[in-house]
A and B are shown apart, each in its own frame.
Chain A
Amino acid sequence: MNEPGIGRVIDNKYELIAALGKGGMSNVWLGHDRRLDKLWAIKEIKPNVAGAQGAANRQAIIDEANFMKRLDHPAIPRVVDIIDTGDTIFVVMDYVNGRPLSRVLRQQGRPFDQADVIAWGIQLCDVLGYLHSLNPPVVYRDMKPGNVMLRDDGSVKLIDFGIAYELLPGRRGDSRRIGSAGYSAPEQIDREMHKTTPTDPRADIYALGATLYSLVTGIVPRRVRKADGSEDVELDLKPIREVNQGLSDGFEQVLLRATMRDPSQRYQTIDEMRYDLERYEELTQEYRLEQRRKLRTFWWRVRASGIALALGIACMIGSATLRNTSYDTLMHEASAARTEEVNVAAGNASTGEARTASASEAEERYAQAINIAPSRIEPYERLLEVYKADEVFTPTEERRFARIWQQYGRDLAGNDRYARLCYDVGVLYLCYYDYLGVKDQTDELLPVAATGQGAVKNATQSAVWFERALEACDPAAGDFAGLEVDNVIDEYVATQVYHTIGMFHTLFSQASREGRDATGSYLTFWQALEGAIVGDDITAPIASQSEPIVQLRLYQVAFESIASSTYLSGFMRAGVGEHDVIRMLEAVKAKTDALSDFVAANYGASGFMYDEIENGYEAARTNVSRTYKSPVAQMPVSPKRGE
């Protein structure tokens, strides 16, 4: 018998004692290292072809094993040895004690508890986040319950990296359609979609969504063939609460978003999905209704406050002095580290060296200072400077910041610069947040514009911060908690406008999910854009008072909204006239032109927005005219503008 079987000893060291799985190209064995008395999973791969093709295959296999060897994450089995015996390659890796979730599901005969599934989901986001953050990024492509091992301690491990794929710059995607039916994203599997849509990290987001779906409902997603038998298509995953009413509305939203057929409709990074999974309760219907109520009322909101402020100050005094020494030391160290990092960064910029993904020393010191004196606002303010310094707020930085805020943010309530801080964080999200994690990876990978409405989505993340800023203000009492409201700059009004802009995408996607008409929110959104960019008879445009980078982002938001056919027809239905749209578009173009000097000096942070507007202007203008001439435009409009 040619095939090496049980009992065979590899490299004079590993005895193959049992088969763990057999496939076309490879077998997986349970191996026993007799010297160390330790078990390993040993993958046996046969290149299977003679000659030049065989040599190429062998090289590909060894490359893949070496790639695996570089991975270092507690939830990924390590590759510890690669043995080439000539006709066969053996890859020795950690044997994972545990059970595949698919088997546990089958054994217990009922779905898992939602809390467990969400906890696993967060762990899996971590692993996928690690893979996606590699350079070049790695798409796992085979997320499914069968590839997730549940260990005794409740943790999970990812196994089988057989089809994981490195996204090299310039490589468009794998030409093979490969994956697991039912779990893999449509662009990975569907014949038609595979041709037009490259597989990128968002495919893993789909598959993770489908995996969690299966675990929490007990339903194995299957693919069904069209009636004419022409092509198999994805079975729609119905909302989980149609399967089990007891499940969370918020979790349902996360899964629906993760498993959208169109990649640009999904979470754009695994970190975003993780963020929502960690806060799924905030996505519930009730919570969102509350958000909407706030939006409707904020224009005339007058908060009777004073109490919160007084309490806050009392707390600050109470906690002061005691810990001052170490706090001051940390702030001092952070500031020194910061100077050092700026110098190094300047050096790197000239050599073109990449930034590291780990927290800078300054960032860590400021975080420690917050830990010691959570009611002091200065470390937060410095932290924002650190984030802004390299012109991009990365998802990794965002996650660390979100954690700090979650833990300590409430200690700041009542601070006299609280609104100012929230406003600055909002601006950070609006203008600097690298929504797609592009800057964490390679610059060529995913152009922001390719996914459409990147700016509008960015604005979404900022809305909550503008809202916090607004809540901290008491205009009736003349208290603006640090926002500047003199004649030249009215940051309070700006905050209101940015908040409205930020809320739009949320309301819009909510309405479209629920099948409701979003016409009303289009009008509110449009008015906010006009206030920000064009101005009205009484007030000057808000944007012109802001920093150039903020201005540019707002122009980008407006531009993308007009350039999007969906939004444009929404504006049209809401009664916005062609003349108004053209006026806005021209204002955006003129004001963007005026920023050309700034852009030239800061191309890294602003070039993509500038180029998007400059290059897309003519097409957008043509599209406006065409849309308004189409038959749909002749339909009666309601509600009437201005109502």
Chain B
Amino acid sequence: MALVAARTDRGTRKPTNEDACCVEVANTRFGDAVMAIVCDGVGGLARGEVASSTVVARFASWFEGELPVLLDGMAEVDAFPFAAVRVVWGVLLSSVNEQIRAYGASIGANLGSTFTGVIACQGRFLAAHVGDCRLYQIGPREFRQVTEDQTLLAQKLASGELSPEHAATFAQKNVILQSVGTERVLRPSFYEGAFSPDDIFVVLCDGAYRRIGGERVSRCFQGIDRTSEHAMEEACERVIRESFERGESDNLTVACFSGNLVRVEPTRDTRDFCDVRTMVSRGGAA
């Protein structure tokens, strides 16, 4: 049974919460399928919020409406169609990029959103990534950062142009390389992999990891009771609390789900994908 949780906080500095997130669970013929998405809006004030919630709404509607149709057509296939989902997500991101761009042009403003989303089923996952939110895969003792930050800082560190010692004082550390809604051609990164039932997937916006880093984020989740949704909610809250304690003032969002998903061997009788639960879905409104 998929356990999920999410928390978001406006923080102390911004007048609105420009983050948006959703976690959705579906009961499919392959067992549980879970999707978690965090988007961090850019463009200021109401605009960032519009961009991030537009992206989240589009993906939520895809998961609830179009994925079931896709799975219906797969009646003779016994593996979740990750390859198709990857193509479809690419198209969804580029179409919502166009949509936000057109809206921005119509109001004479630049607005956009980062996107980090993961979908998991049958012990495998697919993640898509634009910008600087992060996806962590956290095991009982180890963790890994699945996504790579698409920031100017990360780029300069990777090329050796900037040494790690100077990272903390780098002036443009908030600059992201691309966002949904501002690109002529959007180039999302995709990641695929396997997971075990002991893993927990955590998606965070930059506000939620910037001060405390992956190490502390994973520690918030590693000790907890992995069969309790309540414990997962508390872990999300702890990430936010620790970030505050270390001086974070930005919007903060954490979304997570456990890897102990129900797996079933698909048969023709179970082809009807009926039960989609929207666990958490919120736009940027405070």
Contacts and interface: CB of A to CB of B under 8 A. Distances in A.
Contacts of A464: none
Contacts of B106: none
Contacts of A97: 61-62, 65-66
A99 B68 contact: yes
B91 interface: yes
B168 interface: no
Given A97-B65, A152-B61, A18 B90 contact: no
A18 B70 contact: yes
Interface centre among B69, B87, B94, B274 (most CB of A within 10 A): B69
A19 to B, nearest CB: 4
13 contacts: A6-B84, A18-B70, A18-B81, A19-B74, A21-B73, A30-B70, A30-B88, A32-B91, A98-B66, A99-B68, A99-B69, A100-B69, A150-B65
Contacts of B81: 6, 18
Contacts of B84: 6, 17-18, 30
A19 B77 CA distance: 10
Interface string B58-83: 00011011101110111111000101
Contacts of B87: 15, 17, 32, 39
B65 A28 contact: no
B276 interface: yes
B73 A37 contact: no
B72 A17 contact: no
B188 to A, nearest CB: 11
Nearest to B65: A99
Interface string A22-41: 10000010101000011100
Interface in A162-214: none
Interface residues of A, number: 24
A18 B74 CA distance: 7
B276 A20 contact: no
A103 interface: yes
SS class of chain A's interface: helix, strand, loop or mixed?
strand
B83 A17 contact: yes
Interface of B: 61-62, 64-66, 68-70, 72-77, 81, 83-84, 87-88, 90-91, 94, 272, 274-276
Given A6-B84, A38-B91, A39-B91, A20 B70 contact: yes
A98 B69 CA distance: 9
SS class of chain B's interface: helix, strand, loop or mixed?
helix
Nearest to A107: B274
A106 interface: yes
B274 A106 contact: yes
Contacts of A30: 70, 73, 84, 88
Nearest to B69: A20
Interface string A6-21: 1100000001011111
Interface in A92-136: 97-100, 103, 106-107
Contacts of A150: 65
A7 B77 CA distance: 14
A39 B66 CA distance: 12
Nearest to A18: B84
A98 B65 contact: yes
B58 to A, nearest CB: 8
A150 B87 CA distance: 23
Given A6-B83, A30-B73, A152-B61, A17 B88 contact: yes
A20 B77 CA distance: 12
Interface string A198-237: 0000000000000000000000000000000000000000
Given A21-B72, A97-B61, A100-B69, 10 more contacts: A6-B83, A15-B87, A18-B73, A18-B74, A20-B72, A28-B73, A32-B91, A37-B91, A37-B94, A99-B66
A267 B90 CA distance: 47
Contacts of B76: 22
Nearest to A16: B84
Interface string A128-160: 000000000000000000000010100000000
Contacts of A15: 87
Contacts of B90: 37
B21 to A, nearest CB: 19
Given A39-B88, A106-B274, A107-B276, A22 B73 contact: yes
A15 B76 CA distance: 19
A21 B74 CA distance: 8
Given A99-B66, A103-B68, A20 B91 contact: no
Contacts of B68: 99, 103
